[in-house]
Chain A
């Protein structure tokens, strides 16, 4: 016996309080479902594996100042010097550092760019055969560069004949999975794919084509040369601290800058997302708390207003459980009435967020789960005051005026 009809009648006759609760539930559901969705979206992104041993890798830039006879020779010497430091696994000159947020990308097609065929966008790195060990990735198909395939020099004019690509690029450009051995064009220059790396991320983790990477064998020396170094994990911090003096000892015509570990670079790149997740979590907690308190307060108020009525109901034969049930059913009715409007307002807010902040479309399941959770929270908020109401003595009926 749920007394739904009289509760509904009674609610209809004192609409203001119920309307306020309904409004609050609608707002809460809309915000919480969207915030939870955004959190989940960001968490998925943040928890993605780069495939790199981030805690073993660091990078820095060497700015050469003044006249140098042969920059390439100098920097390759530097590279060798770094490799000889105890604890270093490998080191390499590179044009851009993966996962750092800064890099180069281009379209790579199956025909020269002048023929305007379809191409696949990929981030590209220029480095030599040491780069795969330095980045801790493995070539799963084909082979590594031979040292005679690596173009050494300080210009982009000589384009290498061979290239190693990520599986992400190969499978996108050659959906049949036969990328190995194919020729792709960088501008008008043909390069043959001689190896495929299973998993490799580009510089921008948020890029939709983050898994599409091309590595060209080109040891290009520049006045601002980036180095990437892999060490034993427990040696990295010490080496990062000491490496500058080693480099300056070799040549004093340089400045060492942008020393950064890969995990720090990644954290820096992700900082805004981490902040967003934290903010959204705080928002959810605050709004849920406010709603719970609102429902709690509203129920306490309703009960104090209805003390005599509750005593009278008890005098007329209501068991304690009937009083408890009254408030739970009343709350359930309010939640059910709110549900459809909550659903619509959540979708509406989701669409607004999608168009305004280029977020993915809100998944329905988030709304449904949020509605259920808000219902549970509101029942919990009602439970305590309702239990107190159930304990109102029936003698209130004759004792109060």
Chain B
């Protein structure tokens, strides 16, 4: 469903040119759960942003469900994000002066979904993340793990087939991180394709497919054995 061919991304600041991605090739099939690891600054967020159409790539071709993303207008990418993609951020990114219900409602309103249907979906998603009783609470009244679950509910409400998560457990302790991971796994089992960037080797190990970004390029490992991942992680750490 996702295909990247020779994707490159260059950040041009006044003096410096940063090649955040180069010759980046990746194929993702429907229903996969991919963990992305790699050293800091290697281009993981850049990759995720391009995959989620949060920023344009500077070279190569990115096809999402057969659509050449590079050729879309700003409005079309906004609509496509809304329809196909659910985002989960490290900092949760809940809107502080909207309660949980209203936060989850945000993407549904942009999708033009009618009020009754919105309500039905919000309740359903809140139930799924176990926070149905807190619908009227404001984000700051919740713990970090709860907030991230709300953010996941918000990402799910639009029924996207594609979930992108940038260090979703980065701000959580290990217990909460495990709960969030379990939630993502169950979502994946229901059919959604998930790409998750993480620094947590243990969580990465739980994902069926691991990829590693090193220096803006992909080192593709399809590993199911925990030891190997650690070995690779150590090797790249030494390299850098």
Contact = CB atoms under 8 A, between A and B. Distances in A.
A317 B78 contact: yes
Contacts of A319: 74-75, 78-79, 110
Interface stretch (A141-149, A276-284, A307-315, A370-378): A307-315
B102 A315 contact: no
From A13, A322, A397, name the one whose CB has the most chain B CB atoms within 10 angstroms: A397
Interface stretch (B93-101, B182-190, B232-240): B93-101
21 contacts: A3-B109, A6-B98, A6-B106, A9-B102, A14-B97, A308-B91, A308-B93, A313-B95, A314-B54, A315-B52, A316-B81, A317-B110, A317-B158, A318-B78, A393-B54, A395-B49, A398-B49, A398-B54, A398-B166, A400-B91, A401-B91
A315 B45 CA distance: 14
Contacts of B53: 394
Interface residues of B, number: 36
A318 B98 contact: no
Nearest to A321: B75
What 4 pairs across the A-B complex have the smallest Cβ distances? A317-B82, A316-B107, A317-B110, A13-B97
Contacts of A315: 52, 54, 81, 87, 93
Given A319-B79, A401-B90, 7 more contacts: A9-B102, A316-B110, A317-B107, A319-B78, A320-B78, A395-B49, A401-B91
A1 interface: yes
Task: Report, as a range, how many residues of chain A touch the other chain.
Answer: 20 to 34
Contacts of B91: 308, 400-401
A317 B93 CA distance: 14
A395 B55 contact: yes
A118 to B, nearest CB: 71
From A315, A318, A320, A395, name the one whose CB has the most chain B CB atoms within 10 angstroms: A315
B111 interface: yes
A308 B52 CA distance: 17
A241 interface: no
Contact of A398 (B79, B89, B98): B89
Interface string A1-38: 10100100110011000000000000000000000000
